[in-house]
Structure 1
Amino acid sequence: MRTFLINFQLFVITFSLGVFNTYAQDDIFEKLQEIAIIDQKVMMPMRDGIRLATDIYRPKTDEKVPVIFSRTPYNFNSWGDGEQKTRTAEKAYEVVQQGYAYVVQNERGRYYSEGEWDILGIPLTDGYDAFSWMKDQPWSNGKIGTLGCSSTAEWQMAVAALDHPSHAAMVPQSFGAGVGRVGDYYEQGNWYRGGAEQLLFFAWLYGVEHDKYKPRIPEGASQEDLIRISRFYDLAPENPPVDMSEALAHLPIQDILQNIQGKREVFDKMVRRNPNHIDWYKGGLYHDDMEIGIPGFWFASWYDVSISPNLALYNHVRNNSKDQFVKDNQYLVIAPTLHCRYTRATENTIVGERNVGDARLNYSEQIYSWFDLWLKGENNNFKDNTPRVQYYTMGSNVWQSAESWPPENSELKTFYLTSGGKANSLYGDGRLSVKEPNSENVPDSFIYDPMNPVTSYGGNVCCTGNAVKGGAYDQQAMETRQDILVYTTEPLEEGIEVTGFIESSLYISSDAKDTDFTIKLIDVYPDGRAYNLDETIQRVRYREGYEKEVFMEKGKVYEINLTPMATSNFFEKGHRIRIEVSSSNFPRFARNLNTGGKNYDEKQGVVARNSVHHSKQYPSQIRLPIVNR
């Protein structure tokens, strides 16, 4: 009887929540209907005959209006309950209130859109064709702005390089999965960092990839039919819940999705590509040989998965565009938040475990002012009132501004790694010092066992389910491991602001043909709390570039330059600056099995004895961007 009552109570709670969600959604749709003409399941034709499902919300006016366009792989069917659908209605209401048409479209092969889906492998012409269709509508003024975060942002850059005359401005937010190659970063849409696989997409694809045997709407279905059946058939798969912390530990990594009975058609292709594979350059990723030709208002965040490549892309467009107009119309915001969490900042913003203070900003006001300038032609003083770069400095917990990134008053200062050869763990003798080493080489060594990797704890992550917590967490417990080398400054005699890209060079050796080296930058409080700021990794076989693999010889010392990190953090007086060096950060990054093989198809690893050298001959170092005030 007690079990029955508990189950009945759970049913009542679940039913009530469902009714509440439905009422809340009905309420926003009623408000939306009062101000908007709603045209759903418009099947927008592409040049190859494929039709993409599109919902259009536009103001009730006879005047032509500009368009804010979002294209997404996610479900926005307006029937039923669900947070994503309610968010779509809320966004449509907000956009229409501002005097714009809001057009939201599913990528090809997603939900009611026809064709086959391939993450960022869909034709770039889909974006171009959508712009052409929208500009020709009788209600359109011919000006289109693109807006979105994460998967509704990542396609914007490559399409912007097509230079459609109606694509007037863009607002990409947390856009790293659309960055292929920029400068020294060969991330290929967040698949890699320093040549090591980032496992976030392994988890993400499980949750979003549609099966090739999914139910399909018959070709040629009318808009009326699609609206009717969308009330009953959502086409959204419900994948069984999976413990990703366990799932991502499976070897070989090429079988991770198969092992949890996930869909893997797209995954199977991607997991076999190296960081410079030709197929990365055939789809929708942006690469730095593509010329962006429109104004951009870029949004990034310190604890996002690809903060450094995001900033590198902003700088690339700002500094290298052939068009001075384009150079002059790029703006940047960097928030102290997780992936796509800009508007969730509060007067006491907690990122992981760390309170970074009042990180609120008038995001919406600035975005609509930006669109008003470019889509409506308003002389609204956006450029006079908006700093070129707005960035949040953690530690001092203040918004700051600059004309460039990094700020012009930021200069790199070198800190050298030093020890007596026993920097292992928090309790070792590792130090960071501004003094150049003049001693003989006394390397720090540790055993890296791929079957017992250093566990990811906090960090700059996204989309890994329960496998990794994002944000700043106290690393002290992790730092008791012998396979983590810890280097720390003395307590600071005065506060230091570190703002910009963080560069690092390590001199390493190993008895394995190939291995990885990782670095974390950490703010150590007087009471010992050690909060992570950013992290990076380098697969040693790619130390000479991603066009070739060069393996190590046992005992030989090699220099590796890790992909730069980035942050803005004020280390207060009495705090210490710390870096951790290891060979794993799992499951943030895939383990290197140390064999020199393909890695993605291997089940067994070998134990490596890895060393970091620091001496006059081998000056391992980290270069911090110190702001001079």
Structure 2
Amino acid sequence: MNRIVAAVVAGVIAMAPMAASAQDYGRYSDAAAQTELGRIAIVDMAVMAPMRDGIGLATNVYRPKDAKGPLPTILWKTPYNELAYSPRTTRNALTWVSRGYAFVVQNERGRYFSEGEYEILGYPQTDGYDSLTWIAAQPWSNGKVGTLGCSSSAEWQLALAAQNHPAHAAMVPQAAAAGIGKVGRFQEQGNWYTGGVPRNLFFIWLYGVDNPQRAQIPSGLDQEERARIVRYNDLDAKKPEVKWSSQIRHLPVSEMLADLGEPPATFETLIARTPADPAWREGGLYHDDMGWGVPSLWFNSWYDVSIGPNMELFNHARSTTQDAEAAANQYVVVGPNNHCAFAALGPNFRSGDRDLGDASFDSDAMVHAWFDRWLKGERGAFSESTPHVQYFNMGENRWRSAAQWPPAEVKTVRMYLRSSGGANSLNGDGRLSLEAPPAGEAPDRYRYDPMNPVQTIGGGDCCNGGLVLAGAYDQRQIEARNDVLVYTSDVLTQPMQVTGFVDAVLKVSSSAPDTDYAVKLVDVAPDGTAYILGDTIIRARYRNGFDRPAMLTPGEVATVQPTPMTISNTFQPGHRIRVEVTSSNFPKFVRNLNTGGANETENSGVVADNAVHHAGDQASYIELPVLK
């Protein structure tokens, strides 16, 4: 194997410090980090790891020069441009090499310098498996590999974990929900849907990532020449800028990218599927009938794109019967940060408009200890007394721990949506009550116009071209609309900690054959600020199941139950609990055009007169997991 050591950027910097611990590397300039990596590491760039079908995946291998024996390995697999010089990759390599590991970064199939055709998640059950086999067979490997990464570098790990590869000793998936097809109550097919409603973020993400006309370097080059090309030609095509705030409104949805001149590709394939389409089983998504075989340290976030499936999968992995050791060694950390922003946790932490105090958590130290335990065999590195669940409770603004999720002490508290028929807007008479409404209480009615949808402000999201800022933003601007039903509790006199899965059950009717129902849970501070905690949505046609779509009978009452919201928040004395109900949350979710047709291929909609019922046996309510 030819060795191409990371280049020194001549004349740019003074000599880097002669030695540094891993935690010091963040203070290096980019050029100094490159220099230090060249000093302590052997760097093999653009090695082609062979897959079973003969395709080669471009791989950088970083390992310590002074290694005395076989090395444990950290594998970071990515669809992004991280083989050419990247400050983040360099610092990651420095950290792991300085700790006595080999650090391997690999481009997914069809991305940048790897051969083959790209597919979302990068074929984890074949390419992922073969990559582990290749690493374990290297003369520098001790046969133990840990997979690490956030977002796209985490999502592929899930289906791989079901393979139980003998070299896959441990994993750290961070913000991994887009790798989940179906798990328990959640069938989001890689976060493409929530409650059967497509999410707009992937349309924007695919515009930037999916490139069927990508440039490729010639096959048959030797490694030294390929490495030279990697260093000097990043193959990172820059597409034209798009004004997504207007483009996201394009109808029909199915032509949103074609309207930009994009050739047919992944987007067109996925937007044509329903939530129950069998084709979702053909890719790299993890489904809960696939088993689990790897000890895992999960990192999730309250304001990420989809916290619910992440926590459901954590519970599922703990219940696996495939591998008792793996089931017993599942740990999760849940912070108040946005997508992949674990390094942002610290003192004086803010989420959106909300001050959450000291959210400090040393995630790096925990990851290091985890891999030392499983890849180096240092059993004392990761304490056996570590709680299986560590989560940040908003409102209390402190970290808590539990043996399970939700904590065993949680009790369900049901609160009913009530009004005198005028819950419209913040100025209406909607209330959230522990007392069930009597028969005869008037329903709440509103008009939903898909051409004037309710705007998304905050909540959980990511990767959307700046359309939505995730976090705990004030909802009063939304609550001022007459097409938003607002239900607010009395002022609390005692703290109420809500920790777990939050369920909403609505009795609804509509003038349309199909429409959506969107729900939010909000913490209202004494000054009136309404901090969003979580949101969910359901397409009415899927109320009986994604495999049993059924249109509404206009005017007839039906039951809809969105997938749960997932939170931990203490509503403090002086605060109030609030639930919002409406029929859109845009641009987070695709608008329902209310026709009952193939929504994503239609170019016009109709107005729906919608209602929420809450009288007698038609009660609508929310169920809160309250920690006593």
The TM-score normalised by the length of structure 2 is 0.94
| Whole-Å separation in 2 of the counterparts to 1:263 and 1:89 | 34
SS in 1 for 2:374: helix
The answer as to 2:53 corresponding to 1:48 is yes
Q: Is the 8 A contact 2:542 2:548 kept in 1?
A: yes
Q: Following TM superposition, by how much is the alpha carbon of 1:121 offset from its aligned partner in structure 2, in angstroms?
A: 6.2
Asked if structure 1 preserves the Cα contact closer than 8 Å seen for 2:304 and 2:460, the reply is yes
Structure 2 residue identity aligned to 1:206: Y
- Quick check: 1:507–1:613 contact (8 Å CA) kept in 2? yes
Q: Which AA in structure 1 matches 2:78? A: T
Secondary structure at the aligned position of 1:154 is classed as: helix
Deviation at 1:385, TM superposition (A): 4.0
Report matched runs for 1:231-242 at 5 Å: 231-242=231-242
The residue number in structure 1 matching 2:407 is 407
2:4 maps to which residue?
none
Report the Cα offset of residue 77 of structure 1: 3.3
Any conservation in 1 of the 2:291–2:320 contact (CA below 8 Å)? Answer: no
Residue identity (%): 50
State the match for 1:443 in structure 2: 443
Distance 2:324 2:54 in 1: 38
How far apart, in 1, do the equivalents of 2:176 and 2:88 lie?
19
Shift, 1:331, TM fit: 0.4
- What amino acid is aligned across from residue 594 of structure 1 in structure 2? N
With 559-568 and 212-221 compared, the bigger mean Cα shift is at: 212-221
Contact 2:419-2:441 within 8 A present in 1 as well: no
Aligned residue number for residue 62 of structure 1:
68
Alpha-carbon distance, 1:122 to partner: 3.0
Q: For 2:378 and 2:526, how far apart are their aligned partners in 1?
A: 51
CA deviations on 1:392-446 (whole Å, 9 max, x unpaired) are 0011100000000001111110000000000000000000000111231411010
Say if 1:441 and 1:617, in contact at 8 Å, map to a contact too.
no
In structure 1, distance between residues paired with 2:578 and 2:110: 47
Partner of residue 198, structure 1: 199
* Cα-Cα RMSD: 1.4
The answer for the alignment partner of 2:519 in structure 1 is: 519
Which residue matches 2:453? 453
The letter of the residue matching 1:427 is N
**Ranges in structure 1 where 5+ consecutive residues have no aligned partner:** 1-15, 80-84
Query: What corresponds to 1:94 in structure 2?
Result: 95
Deviation for aligned residue 1:158: 0.2
Other structure's SS at 2:364 match: helix
1:34 positional shift:
1.6
Distance in 2 (CA, whole Å) between partners of 1:73 and 1:392 is 31
Give the corresponding residue for 1:166: 167
Measured after TM superposition, the shift of residue 260 of structure 1 is: 2.5
Aligned residue in 2 for 1:323: 323
**Contact preservation (8 Å) 2:59, 2:83:** no
Aligned partner of residue 94 in structure 2, secondary structure: helix
**Residues paired across the two proteins, number:** 602
Look up the SS of the partner of 1:37 in the other structure: strand
Assess if the C-alpha contact under 8 Å between 2:60 and 2:83 holds in 1. Answer: no
1:267-416 alignment, distance < 5 Å: 267-380=267-380, 382-416=382-416
Tell me, in whole angstroms, the C-alpha distance in 1 between the residues paired with 2:256 and 2:493.
49
Instruction: Identify the residue that residue 10 of structure 1 maps to in structure 2.
Output: none
Match for 1:342: what amino acid? F
- SS of the aligned residue for 1:593 comes to coil
Alpha-carbon shift at residue 220 of structure 1 (Å): 1.5
TM-fit CA distance, 1:563: 0.3
**1:72-91 aligned within 5 A:** 72-79=78-85, 85-91=86-92
- Please give the alpha-carbon distance, in whole angstroms, between the structure 2 residues aligned to 1:444 and 1:220: 68
The question of 1:111 aligning with 2:112 is answered yes
The CA distance in 2 between the partners of 1:321 and 1:403, in whole Å, is 19
Corresponding residue for residue 590 of structure 1: 590
Q: Deviations over 1:28-52 (max 9, x none)?
A: 0111122111111001110101000
Residues in 1 aligned to 2:607 and 2:323: alpha-carbon distance in whole angstroms: 52
Instruction: Report the equivalent of 2:8.
Output: none
Alpha-carbon distance in 1 for matches of 2:371, 2:320: 24
Q: 1:27 deviation in Å? A: 1.1
Taking the aligned partners of 2:292 and 2:531, their CA distance within structure 1 comes to: 37
**Contact 2:194/2:537 (8 A) holds in 1:** yes
* Distance in 2 between residues matched to 1:357 and 1:98, nearest whole Å: 32
AA aligned to 2:89 is T
Other structure's SS at 2:343 match: helix
TM-aligned CA deviation for residue 561 of structure 1: 1.1
Shift of 1:321: 3.4
Deviation at 1:264, TM superposition (A): 4.2
Following the alignment from structure 2 to structure 1, what is the Cα–Cα distance between the partners of residues 403 and 69? Answer: 38
Contact 2:372 2:381 in 1 (8 A): no
Cα shift at 1:292: 0.8
Q: How does 1:127-206 map to 2 (within 5 A)?
A: 127-206=128-207
The CA distance in 1 between the partners of 2:438 and 2:545, in whole Å, is 30
Matches within 5 A, 1:599-614: 599-614=599-614
Question: How far apart are the structure 2 equivalents of 1:265 and 1:317?
Answer: 33
Q: Judge conservation of contact 1:78–1:89 (CA < 8 Å) in 2.
A: no
In the TM superposition, residue 263 of structure 1 has moved relative to its aligned partner by: 5.1
Distance 1:572 1:239 in 2: 48
Q: Secondary structure at the match of 1:155?
A: helix
Distance 1:215 1:78, change over 3 A: closer
How far apart, in 1, do the equivalents of 2:322 and 2:51 lie?
30
> Which of 71, 76, 80 lines up with 2:77 in the alignment?
71
The answer to whether residue 528 in structure 2 is matched with residue 528 in structure 1 is yes
Equivalent in the alignment of 2:5: none
Superposed CA offset, 1:374-398 (max 9, x none):
1111121524342110000011100
1:209–1:263 CA contact under 8 A, matched in 2: no
- 8 Å CA contact retained: 1:78, 1:86: no
The answer to whether the Cα contact below 8 Å between 2:288 and 2:316 also exists between their aligned partners in 1 is: yes
1:542-569 deviation per Cα after TM superposition (whole angstroms, max 9, x unaligned): 1111112111101110111110001111
Aligned-pair CA distance for 1:488: 0.3
Q: Distance in 2 between matches of 1:86 and 1:183?
A: 39
SS at structure 2 position matched to 1:551: coil
CA distance in 2, matches of 1:282, 1:543: 25
**Match of 2:42?**
37
CA distance in 1, matches of 2:123, 2:134: 18
Q: Which amino acid aligns with 2:127?
A: D
- The amino acid across from 1:146 in the alignment is T
CA distance in 2: counterparts of 1:359 and 1:247, whole angstroms: 37
- CA distance 1:411–1:611, change in 2 (3 Å): same
Alpha-carbon distance change, 566 to 554 in structure 1, aligned in 2, over 3 angstroms = same
Q: Deviations over 1:64-97 (max 9, x none)?
A: 1100001010001334xxxxx1000001101111
- The residue aligned with 1:216 is 216
Q: Distance in 1 between matches of 2:167 and 2:428?
A: 60
- 1:360–1:277: structure 2 CA closer, same or farther, 3 Å change rule? same
Give deviations 1:97-140, integer Å, cap 9, x for gaps.
Answer: 11111001000000000001011363621011001100010000
Residue-by-residue CA offset, 1:469-495 (whole Å, 9 max, x unaligned): 111111111111011000000100111
Matched ranges for 1:491-510 at <5 A: 491-510=491-510
CA separation in 2, counterparts of 1:383 and 1:547?
Answer: 45
User: 1:206: Cα distance to partner?
Assistant: 1.0
- Unmatched segments (≥5 aa) in structure 2: 1-11, 13-25
Aligned partners of 1:97, 1:307: CA distance in 2, in Å?
Answer: 33
Distance 1:396 1:263 in 2: 50
Q: CA deviation at 1:459?
A: 1.1
Equivalent AA in structure 1 for residue 56 of structure 2: R
Letter in 2 for 1:416: Y
2:428 aligned with 1:423: no
Distance 1:447 1:138 in 2: 67
Instruction: Measure, in 2, the Cα distance between the counterparts of 1:34 and 1:264.
Output: 46
CA contact (8 A) 1:584 1:591 kept: yes
Q: 1:392 to 1:217 in 2, by over 3 A?
A: same
Alpha-carbon distance in structure 1 between the residues aligned to 2:456 and 2:205: 18
8 Å CA contact 1:46–1:130 kept in 2: the answer is yes
CA distance in 1: counterparts of 2:128 and 2:95, whole angstroms = 23
Using the alignment, how far apart are the partners of 1:155 and 1:550 within structure 2?
34
